[in-house]
Chains A and B, each alone.
Chain A
């Protein structure tokens, strides 16, 4: 008996050590991918501009450590200001194009394209972004809306799926696994939330109906509208950040961003993420430099910094959104790698749509606005 416990104890110790070694080795291994520093001309320019960087992003999303480390390493003072949603950010820049932010983080391609078309963005200087050139996955360098990343860059991938609480929701529900659970889940009346955003909610409805997320066909959009209208009485709320509601069990099924979904299912095992079989829509968590920027070189220095492998590992491991860096996935924990939502494999990616200009211009945009207004009022 005693021998057995001893054996178990030492086994646990060995497992523990192996695990520790694993973590340490991955930290070391991140160093095996070279860091390409920015050219001296960029550093000189940073000094000339006063070694400051004004960032406009979400509050409490990225690790503070990342910004602190950046300041420590380059002596550039980072000042952050936060928006409550990206529409607020777009409106602010639109009303005052000279708003002196140097870098905007955490937006999406639709914000970037609209702002670029309004001539409110500066173009990126790729010579100052050697890490991005080396490590950004090729598929994100050639996105249709901005081939060659002229005015924006992704730092990770966002997409929406849904999560449910298996204490209350039947795992064997015939609708489980489909967007249908959100749209036809009459059984769960009053316990469902949808993201409070026209593109996301209408897009999910379009996917459920088998159409393109980016559709601008009137009949398809009207079908999606009817579906959303019929769904409204079943909803507890339109809420873009329902994590707390899910945690408190105020609601059981939520349309949710993939990173939030990851953290929730980790903190509360009864909350499970679902990748809808019909597919979803993925796009980059996008950054760009607005026209009013007075510290453009520092912004480039920062972008190059977040594409350094160790830094990107820290960032992606923290936010839980799929990486766009070629090597970041290699350093993620097994727990993270085991979760399909984070891996976003090629098969699932093929089922998804990605950003198309029809979302922000032409009849598609107009109809979406009108539909969303009709649903909300």
Chain B
């Protein structure tokens, strides 16, 4: 039994690794194969995986996860400013700082569960936002955001490039470097920054897989299904929840650090409540509690954000240019509030629709679809299957009508 799951995991790991490494090729036909967007896919994938470790396993809904992302960002920028433009110390420092921050917040918030926990984390995130925005301006540079500066000390490599700001790099490999390749009419772009993010994403995915399969992960799932019972059996659950909260915060800090490494700027808006809501949406959209779901959700949300928010009124007008003027104007008046700067509105709508109709996320949708197709296939092949499994839902009269309407799927 254990052997088969092991093999399945290995297969999943291999498929995931190949898919991530081949992302520039896979995504190019969708118009998403350029470095900036792919980096964001990978980074927010890490963020969502981390969030999923907390929410998917323990069921604790944190509404302030963006705070850790923001703290990680600020920490990373400070490291780039003070030490060197090498991204390694920045990432390590960011992870440590956000872990400590998560320890602090988790210690307080985890005293309550359920709704209280969601409210508390939201409040702390908003507090961090306020701190970054106004109170701690000397550290965070307030509304403008923190960025690298020519006057920075950069103890280790200040002398290497006097007079200009060097971009963040990994032992000389600059994050912005891109190798262009034309292949079958597609412009493929292989970017150093993306591959750094991708390597870390794969590593983080592996760690999350190990946590899911470990006894520790089992215990976390027990917290989700029945915490009271766990308490009665003599397990003190809070330390476990705190550990996973800190791990999750470190994932977020890592994502924040990577954002900074790709583009050395950290602003307070990264900590806002909409940012926290976005990661919740990514995880739920993909499927909370599944391994691959959060990464998928992150890619989908970021992809649509990118496409939707770039569309402006002129483009919308072009879509309907073939139609009569009045109809075209009417349609673009309906569509345009959801596009461009109205992307947030589409986000909110998607949010509601997913929660209402697909609370298990896309992964549940896929499972349901596969199950349905499997039943359909079987019922077609042997209609008089006497010992059909109990789970076969559709009664006989409906079953015969199903194949007639395949577009239902």
Chains A and B bind each other: no
Q: Which residues of A contact B (CB under 8 A)?
A: none
